[in-house]
Amino acid sequence: MRGQGQSPIDAAGIDPRALESLLAFWADAGVDTTYEDAPVDRLAARVRPPQPTPRAAAPQVVARSEQAPAIPQASSQGPDISAAIAEARRLAAECETLEALAAAIAAFDGCGLKFEGARQAVFARGEPNAPLMVIGEGPGAEEDVQSLPFVGRAGKLLDKMIGAAGLTGRVFITNTVYWRPPGNRTPTPQEQMVCQPFLERSIALVKPKVLLLAGGASAKSVLQKSEGILSLRGRWFDWTSSDGAMTLPAMPTLHPAFLLRQPGAKKRAWTDLLMLEERVDRPERPG
């Protein structure tokens, strides 16, 4: 029996109150993420194979620990994501509205990020018929809470940049992946590939004139480039949809989170935005 005032030591010999106090200390010190000692092979991330999506299925309450059992599929090339991509394509093609697309993304189980601690899917915000689409990397902590992209510090800076370029209210904002990567790590190319059919469908539905790719992870994935953002930024590329039906001008630029860390780079982002604004407002050629 334990006497009053004694610490409730659990079976593993850990005092929960001491643990709580230690965690509070780390949180006060600004530590909001924990890592394991051993590195995790993200290429071997778990991907749940697509399940047939029952139409009008009754809502289910599923405990987090019961979601998406780990299905080991890793090979030396990483997990086999082809089935998940095919399922994403099929679901995306069925969506005739952005609302339907948001619902399809939220119900999709093929991206491993959904089961790595994200609270909910984060799809998009902004004008459904915007001439400009901004594509970021992936949701962060604040986006994960609000289920909206670019609403944290980097998002506030992005809004200011868009405002300074005279484009407020003329933008649709989304990301290459729809769930927060744990610890805000960069999404893997596999995670981005699985989400890509939804991204393409959102471009097809919004029909923007111009794409702005925020940061290297977005630019490399959307344009299939291997160069770094410092060489890609400020240049125009043609983005073409995977079925070849749509081509749009796309410009990579520095990510606002990078600009928060390196304010000296804002000048370069500003020159990118001036080119962007000119292109958005350039009159369409007839025919």
Provide the binding-site residues for ligand URA, judged by CB under 6 A.
136-140, 143, 149-150, 152, 154-155, 175, 214, 257
Minimum Å gap between C-beta 206 and ligand URA is: 16
Minimum Å gap between C-beta 176 and ligand URA is: 8
Listed as own residue / partner, the contacts of 73-80 with beta carbons closer than 8 Å and 24 or more positions apart are: 73/46, 73/47, 73/49, 74/41, 74/43, 74/44, 78/43, 78/44, 78/188, 78/190, 79/43, 79/44, 79/45, 79/46, 79/47, 79/112, 79/190, 80/47
Minimum Å gap between C-beta 153 and ligand URA is: 9
By C-beta, is 115 or 150 nearer to ligand URA? 150
Minimum Å gap between C-beta 154 and ligand URA is: 5
By C-beta, is 73 or 175 nearer to ligand URA? 175
Q: Compute φ and ψ for 141, nearest 5 degrees.
A: -65, -45
Question: What DSSP letter does each residue of 265-279 carry, written as one string?
Answer: GHHHHHHHHHHHHHH
Largest pairwise CA distance in the chain = 86
By C-beta, is 73 or 176 nearer to ligand URA? 176
Q: How far apart are CA 37 and CA 32, in angstroms?
A: 16
By C-beta, is 104 or 148 nearer to ligand URA? 148
Residue nearest to ligand URA (CB): 136
Minimum Å gap between C-beta 265 and ligand URA is: 16
Sign of CA dihedral 52, 58, 59, 63: negative
By C-beta, is 84 or 154 nearer to ligand URA? 154
By C-beta, is 73 or 221 nearer to ligand URA? 221
Contacts of 271 (CB under 8 A, 6+ apart): 234
Pairing type for strands 171-175 and 132-136 reads parallel
Beta partners for residue 250, in sequence order = 211, 237
Minimum Å gap between C-beta 93 and ligand URA is: 25
